[in-house]
Homo-oligomer: A and B are copies of this chain.
Amino acid sequence: MPRRRRDAPRAVTIADVAREAGVSRATVSRAINDSDLVTAETKRTVEEAIARTGFVMNARGRALATGRAETVGVLVTEPLDELFDDPTYGRVLRGIAEGLTGSGFLPVIVQASSESERALALRSFERRSVDAVVHLTPYRGGDLLEALAGTGLPVVLCGQLVDSPYEGVFSTVYSDDVRGARLAAERLVADGRERVAAVLGPADNPATVDRRRGYAEVLGARLDEARTVHTGWDSTGGFSATAALLETHPDIDAILAGSDRIALGALAALRAAGRRVPDDVAVIGFDDHAIAANASPPLTTIAQPLVEEGQLAARLALEMIAGAAPRTEILPMRLIPRTTA
């Protein structure tokens, strides 16, 4: 006989409930699962017995019998040093947890940074230790996505893929960078800004590409190619790029930043150059990072609905578990008006 956990009192099982209710285990199971094969009468009897015995379903036994785990794996492959102080991860996670609340499914975090951890995670997925996978910040490198598809499990990608060949096999949730960028640009147009500059993140980043497109669509000639520069995501990049820009194009009256940290660098450069914000130059960031609200002056920025992203990812996962076809949802970003634009 298996060794029981130390001092664990013998648990109440359906057998106990069955005895108490004077029916068989099968009937108890059916009553619990709302089968239409049991009388309302019997169901009530069983429910009373459950209440009297304090029975709580053992998830493992059920999982074993049904082949379902009642869990959703949250696969995180993000390199640990990146985005370290970014609340993104936590917010999406919270959204997922919220989205699963009440479904009976629980989120299981599977962190797989190294190649070996990834292989391990995949093998456990293959073995159906989770009923679905929500993959955060999907990562094209290696053959992870292909392997994920190979498991046959429902998979929800949280975050955008450049040109996904996985339409129809994975569900996807992401925020509409193009639309978000348009919102920022429209704000500047409404404000009468004429000579706009863009200080963007790395040129090969998919988010950068989309944001740039959104800016261009709205601003047209107001955003000169020569006033569009790429730099790193952090504030030092934003600072130096802006400083250089102010040298070559001293007449700019607005800056669209590729991230809030870039925007902070831009603000510093503007202050150093003696420009007033927003009087002389407007600035709009991206992400609604914690630093945006606390910047001086407080930064107008574009917010990604991260919690909603997580919630929706969870719901899509549940849908697919229930048999629905994969689908893609694009969430709208919001302009958070503060002081800088």
Contact = CB atoms under 8 A, between A and B. Distances in A.
A90 to B, nearest CB: 3
Contacts of A71: 108
A7 B98 CA distance: 30
- Copies of this polypeptide in the complex: 2
Interface stretch (A159-167, A202-210, A212-220, A289-297): A289-297
Contacts of A87: 85-87, 89-90, 290
Contacts of A91: 84-85, 90
Nearest to A267: B296
Contacts of A289: 85, 290
Interface stretch (A14-22, A30-38, A125-133, A173-181): A125-133
Nearest to A122: B56
Contacts of A248: none
B107 A58 contact: no
A101 interface: yes
Interface of A: 2-8, 11, 56-61, 63-69, 71, 76, 80, 84-91, 93-94, 97-98, 101, 106-111, 117, 123-124, 126-129, 152, 235, 261, 264, 267-268, 271, 289-291, 293-296, 323
